[in-house]
Amino acid sequence: MYLLPTSEQEQILDAAKSFLTGEAPLSRLRPEHGEIGNRDHELWPQLGELGFWGLALDEAEGGLGLSVCEEYLLYREFGRHLLSLGALGLSLGARIAAKAGADVALAGLISGQTNVAIANPRGPTQLGAISWGAWHILEGEGAEWIVAWSADGAALFRAEQFKILESVVAMDSHMTLQRAELENVEPVAFVSKVQDDIRLRALTLIAAYAVGISEATRDEAVEYAKVREQFGQPIGKFQAVKHRCADMAIRAEVAYCQATYSALALDNALEDATLQVIAAKVLATDTALRNSADNIHTHGAFGFTAEADAHLFLKRSHVLDFLGGSQREQKAELLRQPSRKDYGVG
């Protein structure tokens, strides 16, 4: 198993970095641009031209024929730039449509010409031939499609199949949030866990996004510690600040290693792939939360202001924590996984 990015993967990363640096700087989320929602969906067609929404689909399905590992590297960059989670909806929606043979949706999804929201459970739910339950809809404003996943499989719905109860203000005000219900409807496309475990792919990409946040907040804290002065010297010279930044660096590296291995485990269909992916989601989201908080701490009083970018990472990290299952839920599932001895290891 090769753990370092290949030259082809580096080219994908370079393309993503170049595009996001120019088109999706963090400055777009500052107060002067408005605090409710975002306009990242305007970037979807351009990212579609780069092939990112069909990155891991077979060439026969209109994709580039790559793997979840390339998607993982891409979402790590998305996390660094806090790109709208509508991106995750597009990637998963395209995969669901492709695997279920829903040609009616596939072309628009791969090209990025349509918006896809994410449904996250907020009570008892069921996904399958008949789906129902109470949901939170993330990035639902203007979305034509909505994706949802569970332990049983993943589904693609038309937005109008959900009954929207109310719009609410999210903790992360740069995302839209609605409360909705499904009342015994048939999804446009459903892919069972046996066909393709899209839930594990979703958790892998969420972990990658969280790793990106962990690394971005580490870098932001270090850079600020170099220029902010107290008592006539940069605060980075103070031992307490040094130790905090070192802890952030270690946590980010550990999260990156676990998340990277989980993507490889999923791609290679290892027996313990489920365990590795859930562990990555738990570790990466916890690291994103802790590094985001430490980044605010390093920025001092300025870190608590709307003018600083630091608070943006913390709010998005809380969204990631509950997307696809909170840390408590994921840890409970992690404990139910077979031990290494059950896999014949150790």
Pick the last residue of a domain from 144, 171, 192. Answer: 192
Nearest to 191 by CA among 215, 157, 166, 164: 157
Name the pTM for this structure. Answer: 0.95
Top pLDDT among 201 and 234 is at 201
Domain span including residue 158: 7-192
Asked whether residue 45 falls in the same domain as residue 68, the answer is yes
Pick the last residue of a domain from 139, 169, 192. Answer: 192
Q: Does 263 fall in a domain?
A: yes
Asked whether residue 73 falls in the same domain as residue 184, the answer is yes
What is the number of domains present in the chain?
Answer: 2
CB 151 within 8 A of CB 193: yes
Task: Give the DSSP H or E segment for 97.
Answer: helix 86-100
Q: For residue 330, is pLDDT > 80?
A: yes
**Mean pLDDT over residues 310-328, rounded?**
94
Q: Does 111 fall in a domain?
A: yes
Quickly state the pLDDT bin for 303 (edges 50, 70, 90).
confident
Q: Does 1 fall in a domain?
A: no
Q: For residue 7, is pLDDT > 90?
A: no
Which CATH number is 145's domain given? 1.10.540.10
**Rounded distance between C-alpha atoms, residue 259 and residue 257, angstroms:** 6
Top pLDDT among 246 and 105 is at 246
Which CATH number is 322's domain given? 1.20.140.10
Top pLDDT among 306 and 263 is at 263
Q: Does 2 fall in a domain?
A: no
Lowest average pLDDT, out of 138-147, 148-157, 307-316, goes to 307-316
Quickly state the pLDDT bin for 105 (edges 50, 70, 90).
confident
Which residues, 6+ apart, have CB-to-CB distance to 194 below 8 Å? Answer: none
Pick the last residue of a domain from 176, 192, 208. Answer: 192
**Mean pLDDT over residues 164-173, rounded?**
92
Q: For residue 144, is pLDDT > 70?
A: yes
- Two structure tokens written together for 344: 């014949």
Asked whether residue 146 falls in the same domain as residue 211, the answer is no
Asked whether residue 169 falls in the same domain as residue 233, the answer is no
Quickly state the pLDDT bin for 35 (edges 50, 70, 90).
low
